[in-house]
Chains A and B, each alone.
Chain A
Amino acid sequence: MLMLLLLRETVGGGLMATTTSGVYIHVIEDVVSKVREEFINNGGPGESVLSELQGIWDTKMMQAGVLSGPIDRSLVQRPTPGGGPLTHDLNVPYEGTEEYETPTAEMLFPPTPLQTPLPTPLPGTTDNSSLYNIPTGSSDYNTPGTENGSHASDVKEKPSTYMQPPSPWTNPRLDVNVAYEPERGNSNPQFTHDLYVPPSGKRKRDDSSAQYQNGGYIPQQDGASDAMPKANLEGNAFGITFVSDRKVPRDVTCSSSNIPQVDGPMPDAYDEMLSTPNIYSYQGPAEDFNEARTPAPNEIQTSTPVAVQNDIIEDDEELLNEDDDDDELDDLESGEDMNTQHLVLAQFDKVTRTKSRWKCNLKDGIMHINDKDILFNKALGEFDF
Chain B
Amino acid sequence: MATFELYRRSTIGMCLTETLDEMVQSGTLSPELAIQVLVQFDKSMTEALESQVKTKVSIKGHLHTYRFCDNVWTFILQDAMFKIDDRQENVSRVKIVACDSKLLTQ
Q: Does A343 contact B (CB under 8 A)?
A: yes
Interface window among A134-142, A195-203, A268-276, A347-355: A347-355
Provide the bound-state CA to CA distance between A373 and B82, in Å.
13
Chain A residues contacting B57 (CB-CB under 8 Å) are 365, 367, 374, 376, 378-380
Q: Does A312 contact B (CB under 8 A)?
A: no
Q: Does B50 contact A (CB under 8 A)?
A: yes
Q: Does A335 contact B (CB under 8 A)?
A: yes
B64 to chain A, nearest CB (A): 8
Q: Does A56 contact B (CB under 8 A)?
A: yes
Are the CB atoms of A49 and B95 closer together than 8 Å? Answer: no
B41's partner among A17, A31, A373 (CB-CB below 8 A) is: A31
Minimal Cβ-Cβ distance residue in B for A366: B10
- Range class of the B interface residue count: 35 or more
Chain A residues contacting B63 (CB-CB under 8 Å) are 358, 383-385
Max chain B CB contacts within 10 Å: which of A61, A64, A346? A346
Q: What 15 additional pairs, Cβ within 8 angstroms, besides A377-B50, A383-B75?
A: A26-B48, A27-B44, A35-B33, A56-B22, A94-B22, A332-B74, A336-B9, A343-B95, A366-B45, A370-B89, A377-B54, A379-B58, A381-B59, A381-B60, A383-B62
Minimal Cβ-Cβ distance residue in B for A65: B11
Contact with A along B10-26 (1 / 0, CB 8 A): 11101110111011001
Max chain A CB contacts within 10 Å: which of B20, B23, B28? B28
Max chain B CB contacts within 10 Å: which of A24, A336, A366, A368? A366
Q: Does A226 contact B (CB under 8 A)?
A: no
Minimal Cβ-Cβ distance residue in B for A378: B56
**Residues of A near any B CB (own CB < 8 A):** 16-18, 22-24, 26-28, 30-31, 34-35, 38-39, 44-45, 49, 52-53, 56-57, 60-61, 64, 66, 88, 90, 94, 105, 108, 328-329, 331-332, 335-336, 341-349, 351, 358, 360, 362-370, 372-385
Are the CB atoms of B96 and A35 closer together than 8 Å? Answer: no
